Amino acid sequence: MSSNGNATSSPPIVVQRHGAVGLVRFARPEKKNALTTELLTSLAGVLEELDRDPEVRAAVITGGPKIFASGADVRELRDVEPVAYATSDRVACWKRLNAIELPLVAAVAGIALGGGCELALLCDLVVAGDDAVFGQPEVALGLLPAAGGTQRWARAAGRYRAAEVVLAGRKLDAIEMRDAGLVATVVPSERVEEAGLALATKVAAGAPLALRASRASVRASEELPLSAALDAERARLLMLLSSEDHREGIDALLERRPARFEGR
């Protein structure tokens, strides 16, 4: 893995290090960055490597300034049997992606459709180019968005907006996504990677243990009843109270200096 912006290519993905931020860029724009099993396998492996690296505190996923990612390569799904799909590497890759603990920022330009849209929604924050388009066209193929599309749309935007996107095939542009609370900021498409890195760098400035605990608590809101989620939140706070980083953060504030977090 390269550092300080020097890229190494591992098709179909390019990985860079920018300080404490890992940048993961899809490298097949001529194929609309279709989420083939090969690409998903590579993506899961790269993010797992970044997730294990104590020097990395956030990651950006992008397709560059032209296109984020279209959906699956439909040829992979044309004749697949249900049992084979359920046990496929493709399904395993989505489970691996869901298990990543590192804060993730999606930097989306152009289309983010089908699995590409689901991947953006899997991330914690989304920066969108002004030409970005999000949608779930699966019903037109006799399918449904089963990599989190039905659930994340409903939880993030509400059941009625989810039905509009999933059932009626409505596509949302970047401004509509921002107004719906699904996109953090909209920038010119040629600046989307820069803006994603800037946001991830801001995230990465936080204490590493607190970042992961806070991310886990936010995500628990999608899965747990409120009382259970509050209990889990307090349990994570108790863990953080025993960390060196929390004392360093308070000392830095009182001494009016930048904090030096060690992830301990």
Tens-digit pLDDT profile for residues 144-166: 898 899 999 999 999 999 999 99
Share of the chain above pLDDT 90, in %: 64
Q: Is 138 a catalytic residue?
A: yes
Q: Is 72 a catalytic residue?
A: yes
- Are residues 143 and 41 both part of a single domain? yes
Q: Averaged over 43-55, what is the pLDDT?
A: 95
Q: Is 81 a catalytic residue?
A: no
Angle at 115 between CA 111 and CA 118, to 5 degrees: 90
Domain count, the chain: 2
User: What DSSP string runs through 126-165?
Assistant: EEEETT-EEE--GGGGT---TTTHHHHHHHHH-HHHHHHH
Q: What is the pLDDT of residue 95?
A: 95
- Are residues 74 and 135 both part of a single domain? yes
C-alpha 33, offset from chain centre: 16
Among residues 63, 64, 115, 196, which one is catalytic?
Answer: 115
Question: Which pLDDT band, with edges at 50, 70 and 90, does 4 fall under?
Answer: very low
What is the per-residue burial (b if ≥16 Cβ within 10 Å, else e) of 21-39? bbbbbbbbbeebbbbbbbb
Give the domain range for residue 228. Answer: 208-255
**What torsion, rounded to 10 degrees, do the Cα atoms 28, 30, 35, 36 define?**
-90
The answer to whether residues 56 and 50 touch, using CB atoms and an 8 Å cutoff, is: yes
- Are residues 188 and 242 both part of a single domain? no
Among residues 27, 64, 138, 147, which one is catalytic?
Answer: 138
**What torsion, rounded to 10 degrees, do the Cα atoms 104, 106, 112, 115 define?**
-10
**93: phi then psi, degrees, rounded to nearest 5:** -65, -45
- Asked if residue 184 belongs to a domain, the reply is yes
171-222 pLDDT tens trace: 999 999 999 999 999 999 999 999 999 999 999 999 999 999 999 999 988 8
- Are residues 227 and 116 both part of a single domain? no
Q: Is 223 a catalytic residue?
A: no
CATH, residue 228: 1.10.12
CATH, residue 176: 3.90.226.10
